[in-house]
Structure 1
């Protein structure tokens, strides 16, 4: 076996794994930001005065 080729292959494998982990971390961070924005938007859309009274007179 060629030690240099084995070393290069292992290094490339480690790099691919590090890149994959980095991309997943960025994706997770973006999902957290989107979730927080969605929660904030839902909190602002609440209108407690609506739906309390029903007009049943025709």
Structure 2
């Protein structure tokens, strides 16, 4: 087996692993920030206002039959 080829393949594998770890750490950081923002929103906002923002089309009309 060619030692140079084996060395290049190993280096490429290590580089791919480092890149994957970097992307995963960035995604975890973003998820943590979003979780903190959601937690802050939930603690400061009114539940009815959150529901209205999530589903603005509900509760706007009332159907009556006489």
Same-fold status (TM-score > 0.5): yes
Q: Distance in 2 between matches of 1:11 and 1:45?
A: 51
Q: Distance in 1 between matches of 2:45 and 2:27?
A: 27
- Matched with 1:40 is 40
1:1-58 correspondence runs (5 A): 1-46=1-46
What is the TM-score with the length of structure 2 in the denominator? 0.68
- Unaligned ranges ≥5, structure 2: 48-66
By relative contact order (CA 8 Å, sep 6+), the higher-ranking structure is 2
Q: CA deviation at 1:31?
A: 0.3
- Matched with 2:53 is none
What is the TM-score with the length of structure 1 in the denominator? 0.76
Q: CA deviation at 1:46?
A: 3.8
